[in-house]
């Protein structure tokens, strides 16, 4: 008889632990943007900000740490200005290209 695992016994997965540099962050955000879910983009920016250090991102953006946590959660709808400032602080940029490319 095999032992059943309970969800509560499984380790927590934190993608922030795997975002080591700008290239990792850019690749992660690119995949999320491809999915087209605004809530997931906000959440992914929050994950990337935690990977870099939320206090550092808050300082570089001029947005309070607590305000960033609120703005970058999955159910948030951050303003484009917030997204732009966070991307700049993360060392990445949003790029527009034709859909057929």
Looking at the domain assignment, is residue 84 inside a domain? yes
Looking at the domain assignment, is residue 50 inside a domain? yes
- Given a cut of 80, whether residue 1 has pLDDT beyond it is no
Looking at the domain assignment, is residue 9 inside a domain? no
- 15-71 residue pLDDT tens: 999 999 999 999 999 999 999 888 999 999 999 999 999 999 999 999 999 999 999
Rounding to the nearest 10 degrees, give the CA dihedral for residues 71, 77, 82, 87. 90
How many folded domains does the chain comprise? 1
Which whole number is the average pLDDT over 87-93?
A: 94
Please enumerate in sequence order all residues whose Cβ is within 8 A of that of 89, keeping only pairs 6 or more positions apart, or say none.
Answer: 49, 52, 56, 57, 60, 61
Looking at the domain assignment, is residue 34 inside a domain? no
Looking at the domain assignment, is residue 65 inside a domain? yes
pLDDT band at 3 (very low <50, low <70, confident <90, very high): confident
| Predicted TM-score of the model (pTM) | 0.84
Which whole number is the average pLDDT over 73-95?
A: 93
3-state secondary structure the chain: CCCCCCHHHCCCCCHHHHCCCHHHHHHHHHHHHHHCCHHHHHHHHHHHHHHHCHHHHHHHHCCCHHHHHHHCCCCCCCCHHHHHHHHHHHCCCCCCCCCCC
Looking at the domain assignment, is residue 21 inside a domain? no
Q: Whole domain around residue 74: which residue ranges?
A: 42-92
Arithmetic mean of pLDDT over the chain: 91
Looking at the domain assignment, is residue 69 inside a domain? yes
């Amino acid at each position: 008889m095999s032992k059943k695992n309970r969800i509560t016994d499984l380790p927590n997965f934190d993608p922030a632990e795997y975002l080591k540099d700008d290239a990792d962050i850019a690749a992660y955000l690119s995949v999320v943007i491809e999915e087209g879910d605004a809530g997931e983009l906000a959440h992914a920016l929050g994950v990337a900000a935690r990977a870099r250090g939320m206090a550092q991102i808050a300082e570089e953006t001029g947005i309070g740490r607590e305000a960033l946590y609120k703005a970058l959660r999955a159910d948030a709808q951050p303003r484009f200005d917030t997204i732009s400032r966070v991307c700049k602080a993360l060392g990445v940029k949003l790029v527009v290209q034709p859909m057929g490319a």
